[in-house]
Amino acid sequence: MLTFNYTARNPKTGQKVSSQVQADNEQAAAKLIREQGLTPLDINVERSGKLLRFQRIKAKDKVLFSRQLSTLINAGLPLAQSLRSVSEQTTNKPLKVVTNQVINDVEGGTSFSGALEKHPTVFNRVYTSLVAASESSGTLDEGLDRLAIQQEKDADIIAKVRGAMIYPLIVLLVMLAVVIFMVVKVLPQVQSIYSGLKGVQLPLITRILLAVSHFVTNYWWICLIILALLIFFGSRWARTLGGRSVIDKLKMHAWPIGKLYMKMYMARFARTGTTLVASGVPLLQVLDITGESVDNVHIKASLKRASEKVKGGKALSDSIDGDPNFLPLVPNMLRIGEQSGQTEVMMAKVADYYEKEVDNEIKNISTIIEPVMMICMGLMAILIVAAILLPIYGLVNQTGFTGTG
C-alpha cells in the first residue's frame, strides 16, 4: 500500500485541504478522497518513504498530538474527524503518515487502541494501554490529556539527565584532544632533541610517552582500526541482554551518576504508574507496562517478581519492600496510599518528589564534576610536563657534576 499526498477542495465551504491517504494506486486514492466528501485537485505518491525512516517523531510532537486530539474529542467531534484535523495541522511528516494510517484503520472498523498498536515504535505500551482503558470507560479525552502530561514530564526528566551528562563528556573530549596534540606534536620534537644526546638515560615516564608518541604518529591507522572495532563490537555488545545488564547496573551504582539515575527511574516508575492507575488499568498490567517504560533490565526484573507476589495476594508495597532496585521511600509511600485508598495520589507524590530530587542531583553532579575534571587535567599536564622536563634537569645535573669534577 502506497501513501499519497493530495490537495482537494471541500465543495461545501470552497476551502482547499492538503493531507495524505493510503491506497494501492492513484485511482483508489482518488476514490477514498471523494468518499470523504472532497473533490481531488492534485494527487502525488509519497516518495520520501525511505527518508521518513531516518526522521524522528519527537516527544513534543506526540505531546501536541495527544493534546490536540483530547481537545477536539472533548469538543464533541467524532474520532476520525478529530484525527484528520490533527493530521492536517501536524508539521512532522512521519507522524502525519502514521496518523493517516490510523485514520484508515479506524474508519475500517478497528478500535483506536488497536490502530495505534500497529505502530509500536511511535506509540509505546503505556500509550496504547491507556488509550484502550480510556476507550472502555468512555473517557478518551481525559486519558489523552493524562498521556500528554505523562509524556511531557517523562521527556523533561530524560532531557535533564542527558544534559547533565553532556558537560563531563565535553570536558573529557577536550582533555583527550589536548593529550593527542601533546603526543602527536610536542613529544616528537622533544624526541628529536634527546636523540642527539648519547649516553643519557631518559626517565621511565619519558620513554613510555615517547614510545606512545612514536606508535601514534607512525601507526595512526592501526589506532583508528582498533577504535572502530571497539565502537562496533562495543555497540553490539551493549544491545545484548548481558551488555544491557552491566550498563544498567553501572547507571544505578556508579559514582557520581548512580543516585541521579536511581531517582530518575523512581520518578518514571511513579509517573507512569500514576497515569495508568488513574485511567483504570489493572495493577498487574500496570507493573508489566511500567517495567518496560522505566528502561532498566534490573528494575524490570524486580517488577516482574513483584507482579508474581501481587498475584499471590501480597500488597504492591510489600512486594517491592526491601528490593535493592527500589529506593525505600517508594514502598513506604505506596503503603500509606494502599491503607488510605489513595494509591494514585501517593504515586503522584512520589513522582513529584523524585522529579525535584533529579534537579538537586544534577546540581550536585555539576558541583562535583568540575573540580574533579580540573584535577584530572592538572595531573595529565603535570605528567606530560614531567616527561619533557625531567631529562633536561637530569642533563643539567649531569653537566654540572661533570663540570665540577
Query: Same domain for 37 and 74?
Result: no
Residue 206 lies in a domain: no
Please tell me the distance from the alpha carbon of residue 285 to that of residue 291, in angstroms, as a whole number.
10
Q: Over range 210-218, report the average pLDDT.
A: 80
User: Does the pLDDT value for residue 320 go beyond 50?
Assistant: yes
Q: What is the pLDDT of residue 125?
A: 79
User: Does the pLDDT value for residue 48 go beyond 50?
Assistant: no
Query: Same domain for 38 and 73?
Result: no
Residue 151 lies in a domain: no
pLDDT grade, residue 398 (50/70/90)? low
User: Does the pLDDT value for residue 200 go beyond 70?
Assistant: no
Query: 340 Cβ partners below 8 Å, 6+ apart?
Result: 346
> Domain span at residue 324?
258-358
pLDDT grade, residue 191 (50/70/90)? low
**Cell triple for 248:** 544498567
Query: Same domain for 334 and 303?
Result: yes
Please tell me the distance from the alpha carbon of residue 243 to that of residue 90, in angstroms, as a whole number.
38
Query: Same domain for 86 and 14?
Result: no
Q: Over range 50-75, report the average pLDDT.
A: 77
Query: 96 Cβ partners below 8 Å, 6+ apart?
Result: 19, 20, 87, 90
Q: What is the pLDDT of residue 225?
A: 92
More confident position, 171 or 222: 222
**Cell triple for 11:** 465543495
More confident position, 195 or 58: 58
Cβ contact 139:147 at 8 Å: no
Please tell me the distance from the alpha carbon of residue 212 to that of residue 121, in angstroms, as a whole number.
46
Query: Same domain for 10 and 99?
Result: no
Cβ contact 37:13 at 8 Å: no
Report the candidate in 56, 53, 42 with the shortest Cα–Cα distance to residue 155: 56
User: Does the pLDDT value for residue 342 go beyond 70?
Assistant: yes
Residue 142 lies in a domain: no
40 preceded by a cis bond (ω within 30 of 0): no
Q: What is the pLDDT of residue 244?
A: 86
101 C-beta neighbours (distance < 10 Å), count = 18
User: Does the pLDDT value for residue 404 go beyond 60?
Assistant: no
* pLDDT per residue as tens digits for the range 355-394: 888 888 888 887 787 788 788 878 877 887 777 777 777 6
Query: Same domain for 115 and 81?
Result: yes
Cβ contact 6:19 at 8 Å: yes
Q: What is the pLDDT of residue 24?
A: 61
Residue 115 lies in a domain: yes
Query: Same domain for 26 and 64?
Result: no
pTM here is: 0.68
User: Does the pLDDT value for residue 3 go beyond 70?
Assistant: no
Query: Same domain for 15 and 64?
Result: no
Residue 401 lies in a domain: no
Residue 111 lies in a domain: yes
Query: Same domain for 14 and 89?
Result: no
Query: Same domain for 21 and 94?
Result: no
Residue 93 lies in a domain: yes
| Buried/exposed code over 228-237 (b: 16+ C-beta within 10 A; e: otherwise) | eeeeeeeeee
Which range, 96-110, 210-224, 321-335, has the best average confidence (pLDDT)?
321-335
Residue 280 lies in a domain: yes
Q: Over range 238-260, report the average pLDDT.
A: 86
pLDDT grade, residue 49 (50/70/90)? very low
Q: Over range 388-404, report the average pLDDT.
A: 62
Cβ contact 45:6 at 8 Å: no
More confident position, 135 or 302: 302
Please tell me the distance from the alpha carbon of residue 190 to that of residue 181, in angstroms, as a whole number.
13
Strand order in the sheet with 16-23: 16-23, 2-9, 39-45
Query: Same domain for 279 and 322?
Result: yes
Q: Is 344 helix (H, G, I), strand (E, B) or coil?
A: helix
pLDDT, the chain, mean: 80
- Identify residue 150 by its one-letter amino acid code: Q
Task: Give the chain's domain count.
Answer: 3
Residue 100 sits in a domain whose CATH number is 1.20.81.30
Q: Which of 50-54, 57-61, 93-97 has the lowest mean pLDDT?
A: 50-54
